[in-house]
Amino acid sequence: GGIGWYRRSFIINEEAGRKQTYIEFDGVYRNSEVWINGHYLGKRPYGYSSFRYNITPFLYYGDINNTISVRVDNSEQPNSRWYSGSGIYRHVWLVTTDDIAVDHWGTFVTTPEITHEKAVVKVNTTIRKSRSGPASIKVVTSLLDERDRCQARSIIRDVDLSDTVTSIAQELTVVNPLLWSDTNPYLYNIVTEIFEDGNIKDRYETTVGLRWFVFDSGKGFLLNGEPVKIKGVCNHHDLGALGAAVNTRAIERQLGILKEMGCNGLRTSHNPPAPELLDLCDRMGFIVMDEAFDMWHKGKTEYDYSLDFDQWHRRDLQDMILRDRNHPSVFIWSIGNEILEQWDSTGFSYARELAGIVRETDSTRPVTCACNDPVPTNFIIRSGALDLIGYNYHHTDFSAFPVTFPGASFIASETTSALATRGCYDMPSDSMRKWPYRWDALFTEGNDDYSCSSYDNCSAPWGSSHEDTWRVIKANDFMSGMYIWTGFDYLGEPTPYSWPARSSYFGLIDLAGFPKDAYYMYQSEWTDKPVLHLFPHWNWKAGEVIDVWAYTNCDEVELFLNGRSLGSHSRAMADFHLMWRVPFESGTICAVGKRKGIEVLRHEVNSAGNPAGIRLIPDRQTINAGGDDLSFVKVEIIDDKGNIVPYSDNLVTFSVEGDGAIAALDNGSQVSMEPFRGDSRKAFNGLCLVILKAGDESGMIKLKASSPGLEDAYTIIKIRK
C-alpha cells in the first residue's frame, strides 16, 4: 500500500528527433500518474490495464537528460479481495517509431474462412502518420511459418495517408494450414512492412494461430471440428514468493506444471493479465478466458475499481480487447466475475453495454460473465448479452442446464473451491468437511495447525470436491468445460481460516509450486500417460487405521504392506480414487498398477526415519545470465535411506557462491510468517524451495544448503550468456 514515486532519466540522440517516442506500461497498480520533463501525461486508475503515452513533444535531444516521473497511489485500502501488489509490477517499454508506422495494437487478424485444406486470413492494419501533409505508401504483409518461410503475401501500393490514422484490409490465403490447438499450438508470424519512396518506415510483427471453434449448445466445445473438453483452472497473478512482479520464467514454470497435470485452459481471474502470460499460453496451448473486471459500479471492497468504473470501463475494456485479440489462446471474453449487479436491474443495461463494447472491437469470440447466481432471473443473463452462460459453482444444477437455458451454451467459469494443505490428512477420508460453515461467518474451529485435509474431503460451503465436480463435467457432452478454483494457491483470501493464515488453500498446487494430492486425480483423468499416485505418507502410530488412497488410470491396483497383499481394486468408470483401510505398521506400502493384467507402474511409500540429510533438485541446471532467468530448487529433508521425512520442519540455511543470488524462498505453508526474502527457511512437511537468479556473467552458481544435525547438500547451476 501507500504512495510510491519512480523516476528514470535517459538521453535521446538527435537522430531520434525525427521520430516518435512513446512510453508504454504493461500494468501499474494503481492510480498511476505520469510526467515527462515536468509535463503531465495522464492518469490510469485501473491497476491491470496496459497503456501508453506519446512523449515526443516534450523530449530534449542530445546531451540533455529527460526524466520520466511516475506517481502510484495505492494508499486507500482495502481495494482488492486478494494480494494485488503495488506499483510498477509489469514491464515498461520505451518505443520509438518512424513518422509513419503501424499504430499501437494496430493489427487485427481474423480467419473468415478456414478448413484443414485452406485458410483465408484477413489482416486489418491501422497506420498512424505523425507528420503533416499527404503521403503515399506501399504495405507488404507476409505470413511466415515457424521456420520463417513465407506461406502467403499481400501487397497494396499507393495507399493514400491523407488522414492521421488510416486503416487498410488485406487477405492472405494459406493452403493446408497447420492449425493451432491445445495439443499442437502451431504459431505463424505475420510481418507488416511499410515503405515510402522505396524506404522502409516500419516492420511490425503479429504472432497468430490459425484455428476455428464453436461453443455448441448440444456438443459443447469444438476446436477445428473436434470435440475438446476445456480442462482449465483459474489463477490470480501473483507468483508466490516472487509476489506480483512479472517474471516470464516463473509464469512458464506455473504453466508447465499445469500442462503436466493435463490442464489445457486458464482463466485470468479476475482481470487483464500480463502480456507475457498470453504469449506463453499461445506457445504452450491453453484455452484462455480473458477476464476484464471483478466488479462494476457496485463495489466489493471499500476503495476498489467500482469508484472508477463509470468513467473508465469503456477505455479499460477496449484496451484489453485491442491488446489481446490476436492471441490464438484467447477464446472467451469475460466481462465480469460474480458481479453484484446480477441482483440489480442495472445489470441488464451494464451487461449489454459491456458486451457491445467487446463486439465493437472483436466479434470473433463469445462473451460470458462468471455468474454465481446462474438462474434465468439473473439480470445479467436476462439481458441476452451473453453468448456463453458462465456458471460459478452450483455443480448440482449443471445437468439441468438444457432445460434451464434452452438453446444456450454452457461454460463452468469457476468450480470446486476444494481446500487442502499439502501433506495433511484428516480421517475418515470419506467424511466431507464444509469449512467455513457459512461464507460470511468467522471460522473458529477446524484444525489447531490451520491445515485442511488433502484427501479431497474438505471444501468451502459454496463449493464441492474435485471428484464430484469433474464427474458431472465429464459425463455431459454439452458442458464445454470447467475452470477450477484454483490452479495454484495465491496470496490473500486464506479460506477457511483467518489470520495467521495468509494465503489460499484452494490450489491444486501449493504456493511454492509443489503439487497436492488432488493434482494426480486430474492427471489420471486428463492425460493418457500411465498414472499411479499412492498416499498418504507412511509415518503413523502403530495400530492406527489409515485410509490409503490411490489415484490411477490403470485397470486395477494391488496394494502390498511389507510384501503382503492387501487385495486388488479395479477402477470402474465413476471411481476417481481407490481406497484401502490399513492398520499401520512401519515399513513399506506398495501399489502395483496393472493394465490387462500386466504391471505397468508401481509406487512405494516408505516409513521414514529421523532427518539425516538434505536433497536439492533444481528444475533446470542451466539458466541464462541477466537477472531475469530463474532456477527453482526443490529442497527435501531426507532420512539416511533417502526417504522424505513427512513431518520434518528443519530450518535450512542457504548460501550462494558465484554470480547469482537467492530471489526468494518458500515452503508452501499457508501460515508461514517467514519472509520470502532471506537466506533461511523452515521445511514444511519435508519440503521447501529456493529460487535462484543469475547475475550478468557466465559461469556457475554453487548453492549450499545446511541445517543443524543434517549433512550439507550442494548443487551447481550453470549460467550462460
Nearest partner of 532 among 512, 555, 510, judged by Cα: 555
Between CA 638 and CA 616 the distance in angstroms is 10
The secondary structure of 683-709 as a DSSP string is: -BTTEEEEEEEE-SS-EEEEEEEE-TT
- Max distance between CA atoms of the chain, in angstroms, equals 90
Q: Containing H/E element for 438?
A: none
Under DSSP, is residue 91 helix (H, G, I), strand (E, B) or coil? coil
Q: Containing H/E element for 260?
A: helix 248-261
Nearest partner of 46 among 236, 272, 235, judged by Cα: 272
CA dihedral 266, 454, 495, 485 (to 10 degrees): 20
CA dihedral 649, 650, 651, 654 (to 10 degrees): -120
Catalytic residue among 338, 467, 493, 525: 338
**Distance between start and end Cα atoms, the chain:** 37
Concerning whether 291 is annotated as a catalytic residue, the answer is: no
Cell numbers given for 188: 505463424
**Whether the Cβ atoms of residue 530 and residue 271 lie closer than 8 Å to each other:** no
Taking CA atoms, 652 is separated from 34, 280, 529, 614, 658, in Å, by 44, 33, 35, 9, 20
Bridge-based pairing state of the strands 367-371 and 388-392: parallel
Between CA 447 and CA 497 the distance in angstroms is 10
Taking CA atoms, 282 is separated from 277, 288, 487, 595, 685, in Å, by 9, 9, 18, 35, 36
**Whether the Cβ atoms of residue 450 and residue 499 lie closer than 8 Å to each other:** no
Between CA 377 and CA 3 the distance in angstroms is 43
Under DSSP, is residue 721 helix (H, G, I), strand (E, B) or coil? coil
Q: Containing H/E element for 626?
A: none
Concerning whether 674 is annotated as a catalytic residue, the answer is: no
Place of cell 483459474: 234
Q: Which residues contact 329 (CB under 8 A, 6 or more apart)?
A: 185, 209, 278, 281, 282, 285, 286, 287, 288
Between CA 279 and CA 106 the distance in angstroms is 17
Between CA 94 and CA 327 the distance in angstroms is 23
Between CA 374 and CA 255 the distance in angstroms is 30
Please report, as a single letter, which amino acid is at residue 206. T
Taking CA atoms, 160 is separated from 102, 196, 326, 415, in Å, by 15, 11, 26, 52
Q: Containing H/E element for 121?
A: strand 118-129
Catalytic residue among 291, 414, 467, 525: 414
How many C-alpha atoms does 518 have within 13 Å on its Cβ side?
34
The length of the chain is 721
Residue 283: phi and psi, rounded to 5, are -75, -30
Catalytic residues: 338, 414
